[in-house]
Amino acid sequence: MKSKAILAAAALVLLVSCKPKADDGQEALLQYYTTDRTYDIAPLAPADQDAEIRNVILMIGDGMGLEQVSCAWVLNKGKLNLDNMTSVGLSRTWSASDLITDSGAGGTALASGQKTANSHIGTDPDGKPLYSMLDKARRLGKKTGVVTVCHLADATPADFCCHDEDRYHFDPIIAGYAECGVDYIAGGGRDYFGPKRKDGRDIVAEMKAKGYNYATTEEELMAAPLPLLGLMSDDNLPVAAERGEMFRTMTSRALDLLSQASGDKGFALMIEGSCIDDWLHGNDIGKAMEELLDFDRTIGDVLAWAAADGHTLVVVTADHATGALTLQDGNLEEGRIGVAFGNESHNGIAVPVYAWGPGSEVFTGIKENADWGQLISSFIK
């Protein structure tokens, strides 16, 4: 009898929660957001698919599922630089250990073309090092780079440069940057390279001894040659609304330096819009959307550069989606959204894969994230 009462009460709660918002005040549960930082989109013609591919650029919006992109599209009044992408596919994101991936496993699959267990950074489930698209490019004599909004000890940038079985082993992960040979490394995290280290090592000094130039400001970044380590903040970069053009500056400098130094051999570059995920974990739709819109503006810069270059494949995707976000209300003309979050974590919904440039025609269909990683890497040759 008691169990029947419990089931009846649960059914009642379910019925109430599913009632239309006009009747139960669900609108009060929505978070509404709008922004004045809208921008126009310059349309691009499709790329010449027969052109030689010299450069491969992978851009990762951490936590950026189709629902997050849809919200940003409404906020920018029906236009995004992502709209210029000529091919779209879907990526299944489960890891070797869990249905719901973390950024360690999700990023490693994209970087190396192999699934691994959650929390692993550039290693297989048994801890054996996996080598990323940047390692392949370096072995072929190409230049390489990583640009990120977060601190460099975070999972996604580390997936492309370092190897560890635990994403929270920050000291050995950061030490991996001194050994990775990547030519251009820019992001946050000065504290992780020295002041916060338990082992007393000064990784900046070690990288300088290996020939790296070091920058801590945008001015220094724009003046320094390769190889270059740019640590632009003590931890993550400032939030999008406060950092100005820093992310775009870091990216444009990467494109200029890597293209000049690589010549006809080309380069491979990973660019991450990291903090979309952070604010989705906090269910802060405003900050998450400002991060995504800044990421999309950076996508626009990269696409414009790639279109002028003519020999660059650009792929944009996510390691997973975050927040169980739903777009439930809003106004396209006003650029206003009303959303609800279902959790403060990741989910297992497939995420979009976008591509533009020579070779982009094959970036369609539904694949595992590791298979997308293999496909991306296959164009580095």
Q: Could you give the 3-state DSSP secondary structure of residue 359?
A: coil
Q: Do residues 115 and 105 touch, judged by C-beta distance below 8 A?
A: yes
- Residue 311 one-letter amino acid: H
Residue 132 a catalytic site member: no
Q: Do residues 337 and 71 touch, judged by C-beta distance below 8 A?
A: yes
Alpha-helix residue ranges (DSSP H) falling in the chain? 2-17, 21-24, 66-75, 103-112, 133-139, 155-159, 170-180, 203-209, 218-223, 240-243, 246-262, 275-281, 285-309, 369-378
For the purposes of burial, counting CB atoms within 10 Å of the CB of 326, is it exposed (0-12), middle (13-18) or buried (19 or more)?
Answer: middle
For residue 49, what are the CA distances in angstroms to 52, 149, 277, 313, 345? 8, 31, 33, 10, 39
CA distance 33 to 71: 10
Q: Which is catalytic among the residues 87, 91, 95, 103?
A: 103
- CB-side neighbour CA atoms (13 Å) of 32: 9
Q: Could you give the 3-state DSSP secondary structure of residue 156?
A: helix
Residue with tokens 């053009």: 245
Token digits of residue 97: 């250990």
CA distance 261 to 242: 32
Q: State the virtual CA torsion across 61, 145, 118, 164 in degrees, nearest 10.
A: -160
Per-residue exposure over 361-371, b if at least 16 CB sit within 10 Å of its own CB, e if not: eebeeebbbbb
Catalytic residues: 103
